Amino acid sequence: MIAATAAMIVSLLGSRELITAFRSRGKGQPILGKDDLGPEHHMTKAGTPTMGGLAIIAAAAVGYFLAHLRPGIAFSDQVKIMWVGVVVMAAMGLLDDAIKVRKSHNRGIFWKKKSYVTLGLSIALAWWLVAATGVAETVSFTRADLPGWDLPWPAFVVFAGLIVWSTSNAVNVTDGLDGLAGGSAMMGFFAFAIIAYWAFRNPMVYGAVVNPLDLAVFAAAFGGACAGFLWYNAAPARIFMGDVGALGIGTALALLAITTDTHLLLILICGINVIEAGSVAVQMGVFKASGRRKRLFRMSPIHHHFELLGWPETTVIIRFWIVSGICVAAALGIFIGDFTHLTENL
């Protein structure tokens, strides 16, 4: 509660300061237009301050550290590595955001190479986490031994790296409507806070989770930071999170799944991100298979498809939040249901 509340307040204040700072410099988010096959109907948003993800990550850090002033909770090596991973991936996004703003074009220098660079960083981060901590090296759903598929060490590192890479990029794809990525991420972080705290309270069942209380604080801090940011990011947005925010919070969500042994459950917790990224993959597949003549959606990611069908932006956002909430609730229901079933048989 300390982490979430402090992070929310700092994020709220920090977002407001970023809006003022970027507006005074006359720099804002460029929007892809018709010539770049972008959402032309969003051109009115051009110039909106961006890189608000700086406030999210800074606020989460403040909330996390303030919570540790309370006796009885220690800084874990696992979460220290997670923080390094979040900062590195966010820095990658920050560099791309800065180039976009300076060039006044919504494709930074890493537009075509960013995916490969983030993949390499994700695998390196997964290797460090596995090599330096006691994270379980099994493919897991709700706990380390379900289904508990053992993977060779190198294979697990690649598997974990792909989770980080795909989640960070999926959140980045989702970040196309005001508050959509931030709102869905907030739900995911609070779900992980519950999962990690549940593991802390039930070590007999979740003994493979290392330092679960610290993981719960980390997740709660990010959830509170996303909540504070939404005050100014909700439609009509006064600031965007940018790649710095999307890559940072996507990395945090993925690392929480890896460290809480809920790799496969992440598909539900980040259900809306899976749908968004999946729509891009399907769109590209249909387009290439048809000889570059047909598209399944009017525009991808799928939130733009519904906008072009005539749905107001706020309607798309709220309905997608509802879908995200259903997915997160289902994930928590499965997690708690598995715990109940297991403890009944003990």
Cβ of 75: how many Cβ atoms within 10 Å?
14
Nearest to 126 by CA among 14, 216, 259, 7: 259
pLDDT for res 35: 47
pLDDT for res 46: 67
Report yes or no on whether pTM surpasses 0.95: no
Nearest to 107 by CA among 188, 32, 23, 19: 32
pLDDT for res 110: 55
CA angle 186, 188, 191 (to 5 degrees): 110
Q: Which residues of the chain are modeled with pLDDT < 70?
A: 26-47, 104-112, 345-346
Give the mean pLDDT of the chain. Answer: 90
Cβ of 305: how many Cβ atoms within 10 Å?
18
pLDDT tens-digit profile of 68-106? 998 888 899 999 999 999 999 999 999 888 888 877 665
pLDDT for res 36: 47
pLDDT for res 227: 97
Structure tokens at 270: 């980040």
Structure tokens at 118: 């983030």
Coil, strand or helix at 143: strand
pLDDT for res 58: 97
pLDDT for res 230: 95
Q: Is the Cβ–Cβ distance between 216 and 200 less than 8 Å?
A: yes
d(CA 151, CA 197): 27
